[in-house]
């Protein structure tokens, strides 16, 4: 891997500590979020060395190598929340959490970080006199949805209080964006400077604590730089000078995504007891990882030993990382089945079988089906129980 394509992590992205423990090495970890009409096997352009680090100071997890955005967010990276039923339900849950906290309160100015396809922006814009959504995917596509709702293709550090707002934001929210931001603390510090004195923040991120407890190390991948624990996000809020208000979980999304609410305040707040917030030791992470890795490596042989036709169900963007830990290109599967027509006849990096529509096959009742979209394991299981394949295999230890 050429040095120009990546930078090495030296400090914790949250607390700045150099006391980082390198727990997991992932040589040749494939890229995710790519659907190709041609097979992508043994491609050096789609595999990069990676590692996972844990901060001993604040229990923040992060990648050891930060890949260039040009590599991981190119034209083939297809994730848009509106295209995913799981993402839509996740956004609805996050909106419900915010709505429960703010009630019918009206804000002067709302800012969404990572507005994506504007699904949440349209919901929350009714709560403000003016609303701005920013996301790099809108670069060179700036436009006004209405007189009071605007969209700009910007990063956090490009925002200017005097240029972008008639009034400083007094509500900021973000769903599944902070995990992608490299210098997250510095970005939030800049954000604090342009927001109103009593600004309220609502953040949703994948939970490191959940990832560890449910043995979902396939959720560590190149696009997610940060892996927030309860303790690390509390540490970040305190170092910013903010006030922790509340946190909660959506257990139906990524096994349990983490909601956090905090406020910007000029009042001096006494330090909270961080010990009551979840954190994990390096030993615990390593023990859970070894168990996960050994379990995954047994699955291909177990399916081969059945000596039956086998299919995968779920052409998930994250499937390359799951297959990586199985040490397999999943060539023992005849096809990967998926209900999304846009994925039909597509290939994922380092996955040998092509994706086909579920209705393409007629022998599922005589076949073994491996669930290959772990974040959709519950709805897929429900669907498969209706189809009645001979066997159903769910690689996830906890669903």
For 62, phi then psi, to 5°, come to -160, 165
Cα distances from 213 to residues 54, 64, 257, 276, 279, in angstroms, run 15, 22, 13, 17, 11
**Alpha-carbon gap, residue 257 to 213, rounded angstroms:** 13
Q: Given a cut of 60, is residue 257 above it in pLDDT?
A: yes
**Which run of H or of E encompasses 222?**
none
The full set of domains in the chain, from first to last, is 81-280 (3.40.50.150), 283-393 (3.40.50.720)
The predicted-structure confidence for 41-60, as pLDDT tens digits, reads as follows: 999 899 999 999 999 999 99
pLDDT at 283: 96
Whether the pTM exceeds 0.75: the reply is: yes
pLDDT at 78: 46
The predicted-structure confidence for 305-340, as pLDDT tens digits, reads as follows: 999 999 999 999 999 999 999 999 999 999 999 999
For residue 31, give the nearest of 57, 62, 5, 58 by alpha carbon: 5
Q: Given a cut of 90, is residue 279 above it in pLDDT?
A: no
**Alpha-carbon gap, residue 273 to 202, rounded angstroms:** 21
Question: 264: helix, coil or strand?
Answer: strand
Does residue 315 contact residue 291 with C-beta atoms inside 8 Å? no
The residue-averaged pLDDT of 261-281 equals: 73
* Residue 213: how many other CB atoms lie within 10 Å: 16
């Amino acid at each position: 891997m050429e040095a120009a394509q990546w930078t090495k992590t030296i400090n914790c992205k949250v607390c700045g500590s150099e006391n980082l423990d390198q727990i997991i090495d992932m040589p040749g970890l494939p890229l995710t979020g790519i659907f190709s009409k041609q097979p992508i096997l043994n491609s050096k352009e789609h595999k990069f060395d990676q590692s996972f680090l844990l901060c001993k100071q604040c229990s923040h997890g992060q990648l050891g190598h930060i890949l260039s955005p040009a590599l991981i967010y190119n034209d083939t990276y297809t994730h848009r929340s509106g295209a995913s039923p799981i993402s839509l339900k996740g956004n609805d849950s996050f909106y419900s959490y915010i709505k429960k906290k703010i009630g019918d309160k009206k804000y002067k100015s709302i800012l969404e970080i990572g507005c994506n396809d504007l699904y949440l922006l349209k919901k929350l814009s009714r709560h403000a006199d003016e609303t701005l959504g920013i996301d790099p995917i809108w670069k060179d596509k700036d436009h006004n949805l209405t007189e009071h709702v605007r969209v700009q293709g910007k990063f956090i550090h490009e925002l200017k209080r005097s240029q972008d707002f008639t009034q400083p934001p007094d509500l900021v929210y973000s769903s599944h964006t902070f995990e992608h931001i490299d210098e997250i603390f510095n970005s939030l510090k800049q954000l604090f400077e342009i927001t109103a004195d009593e600004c309220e923040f609502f953040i949703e991120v994948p939970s490191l604590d959940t990832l560890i407890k449910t043995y979902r190390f396939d959720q560590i991948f190149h696009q997610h730089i940060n892996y927030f624990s309860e303790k690390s996000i509390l540490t970040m809020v305190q170092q910013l000078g903010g006030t922790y208000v509340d946190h909660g979980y959506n257990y139906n999304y990524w096994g349990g995504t983490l909601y956090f609410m905090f406020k910007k305040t000029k009042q001096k707040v006494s330090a909270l007891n961080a010990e009551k917030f979840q954190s994990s030791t390096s030993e615990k992470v390593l023990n859970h990882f070894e168990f996960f890795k050994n379990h995954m490596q047994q699955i291909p042989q177990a399916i081969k030993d059945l000596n039956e036709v086998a299919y995968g169900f779920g052409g998930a963007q994250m499937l390359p990382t799951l297959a990586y830990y199985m040490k397999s290109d999943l060539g023992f599967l005849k096809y990967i089945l998926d209900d999304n027509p846009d994925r039909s006849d597509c290939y994922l990096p380092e996955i040998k079988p092509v994706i086909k529509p579920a209705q393409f096959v007629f022998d599922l009742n005589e076949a073994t089906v491996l669930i290959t979209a772990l974040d959709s394991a519950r709805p897929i299981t429900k669907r498969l129980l209706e189809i009645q394949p001979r066997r159903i295999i769910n690689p996830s230890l906890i669903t």
